[in-house]
Structure 1
Amino acid sequence: MAKTSRSRKTSKREKPVILITNDDGVMAPGIRHLIEAVKDLGKIIVVAPDKPQSGMGHAITIGFPLRLQPVKILEDVEAWSCSGTPVDCVKLAVDKILHRKPDLCLSGINHGANHSINVIYSGTMSAAIEASIENIPSIGFSLLNYSLEADFTAAKKYAKIIVEKMLKVKAAKHLCLNVNFPSVDESLINGIKVCRQAYAKYEEDFNERNDPSGKKYYWLTGEFVNMDKGKDTDVWALENNYVSVVPVQFDLTNYTLKTQLEKSLKW
């Protein structure tokens, strides 16, 4: 019994294992800034795509081999590049590198917004959701700035605040948070606001063009349209210089409609 007691005390002193991934690629500035923000909070393991994987959603690699290669990002941080998707990175990290579930999975910091409908397409958020499917508490981080030269100072500060809080509380089962940072100076941020996902989408268009050989190709363009005027949404929060936090889930069941159908349909 004494041995068991000592083991428990030792485990309490161990640092939490934090898995970090993204969809912009293992060498993207955003992931380096995220590592720097949280490296003192636990044992950091990085497994991220070897190339940009934006817009991959929850894709996984089937029919092609997956490869892992060690890379150096920061001193004293174990990091691996993966030839697959962000979701592949989480799966391989758990099964082949960690050989256990991490205490927390962080994805990002993404270059560009992942508010509203973007969460459906986002490789950043799909990696976080994949972790939550396995009951690993997870957070996806995004900055509303697509530039590789973006200022991550405020994002790093608030990412650390949020991760510190999450490590101190007992996480709900399948917890997954979608966190977006406004692209403004730290002094202009009004705080953190828990929100719902806005009803907004892209009005898309495909520009038709010709390649040098005269063959047609199409280039996706679009305009973001917010149809939600609520002041409790992620879009509103970001427009008003708040860090938005939206709890998301992988269960896509429409429970209100389910109840209505049970009452109205007779099979």
Structure 2
Amino acid sequence: MRLLITNDDGINAKGIYALAKELEKYHEVIIVAPDNERSACGHSITLSRPLIVRKVALEGLKSIAFSVDGTPADCVKIAINKLIDGKIDMVISGINKGLNLGTDVLYSGTVSAAIEASIYKVPSMAISMQVNKKIENYEMASKYAGEILLMAKKNNVKNDMVLNVNVPLLKGNEIKGIKVCKIGSRLYNNCYIETIGENGETQYEIKGELKDVHEEDSDTLYFKEGYVTVTPLHYDLTNFNILNDVSKWF
């Protein structure tokens, strides 16, 4: 397969290196990723200035790579429209440093890059790995990315499908399997810490504690139980459950 790989942690992140290293064993891989970290940038794109694109060599990888001084969505747009000739079979975004479970997909640059691909009718996967302060290991997530990619190909994945994948920080024999499920809810008890800057300006830094809502058949629940979670996403945010009700208002 011919794969486009991107991320939101930046082109020099450990996660994208591990992903490309694994997938280029079996596929043609082209990397187009932000030049720096763009975490939690959502689906933003750059309109106010030109994008700077540089061809780069990533030591230890044979894949062609480009850095872009923009967002993950920028990377996918410019890759498809300008940098890559011919068909792309699938876009894979990641491996993200940290999870993209539940409603966090709305903030995620990793997921937004995958969604941008689906807008262009290219199937995609966003893959994220649980990390902690002492352990940042992407080998397990790389293997699951390869496995899920092959299953998607075997089952003729639709061209507008996004697969959101989250891998727990467990050993291979500790992972219970793969669960296909809906997204759950992640709530944050947000607060803003006020400080005074060097020039006397007031600054606010967001802090907060996470609380997952473990709904039945949700990714937050199955992830907690030790499964790799896979959630099919789509960019159509229409709430079909109330579409007819709201139409009656008018």
Look up the match of 1:194: 180
Q: Is 1:141 aligned with 2:131?
A: no
Q: Is 1:114 aligned with 2:100?
A: yes
> 38, 55, 74: which one pairs with 2:23?
38
Look up the match of 1:254: 239
Look up the match of 2:43: 58
CA distance in 2, matches of 1:147, 1:247: 30
Distance 1:146 1:140, change over 3 A: farther
**How far apart are 1:149 and its partner, in Å?**
5.0
Q: Which moved more, 1:20-29 or 1:67-76?
A: 67-76
CA distance in 2, matches of 1:144, 1:18: 24
Which has the greater radius of gyration? 1
> 218, 235, 260: which one pairs with 2:204?
218
Encode CA deviations 1:37-81: one digit per residue, 9 max, x unaligned.
211232100000000000110000002110111111233210010
CA distance in 1, matches of 2:182, 2:142: 23
CA distance in 1, matches of 2:235, 2:47: 21
Distance 1:107 1:205, change over 3 A: same
Look up the match of 1:81: 67
Distance 1:197 1:56, change over 3 A: same
Aligned residues: 249
Q: Is 1:29 aligned with 2:14?
A: yes
What 5-or-longer segments of structure 1 have no aligned partner? 1-15
Q: Secondary structure at the match of 1:157?
A: helix
CA distance in 2, matches of 1:261, 1:234: 29
Question: Is the 8 Å Cα contact of residues 101 and 136 (structure 1) preserved in structure 2?
Answer: no
**How far apart are 1:249 and its partner, in Å?**
0.8
* Misfit runs of 4+, over 4 Å: 146-149
Q: Secondary structure at the match of 1:117?
A: helix
Q: Which moved more, 1:102-111 or 1:147-156?
A: 147-156
Q: CA RMSD in A?
A: 1.5
Q: Secondary structure at the match of 2:70?
A: coil
Distance 1:146 1:87, change over 3 A: farther
**How far apart are 1:167 and its partner, in Å?**
2.3
CA distance in 2, matches of 1:205, 1:78: 43
Look up the match of 2:222: 237
Q: Is 1:227 aligned with 2:213?
A: yes
Q: Secondary structure at the match of 1:40?
A: coil
Look up the match of 1:9: none
Question: Is the 8 Å Cα contact of residues 185 and 220 (structure 2) preserved in structure 1?
Answer: no
CA distance in 2, matches of 1:86, 1:107: 9
Question: Is the 8 Å Cα contact of residues 181 and 242 (structure 1) preserved in structure 2?
Answer: yes
Distance 1:64 1:145, change over 3 A: same
Question: Is the 8 Å Cα contact of residues 30 and 63 (structure 2) preserved in structure 1?
Answer: yes
CA distance in 1, matches of 2:31, 2:180: 27
Look up the match of 1:207: 193
Identity over aligned residues, as a percent? Answer: 37
**How far apart are 1:144 and its partner, in Å?**
1.5
Per the normalisation by structure 1, the TM-score is: 0.89
Distance 1:80 1:173, change over 3 A: closer
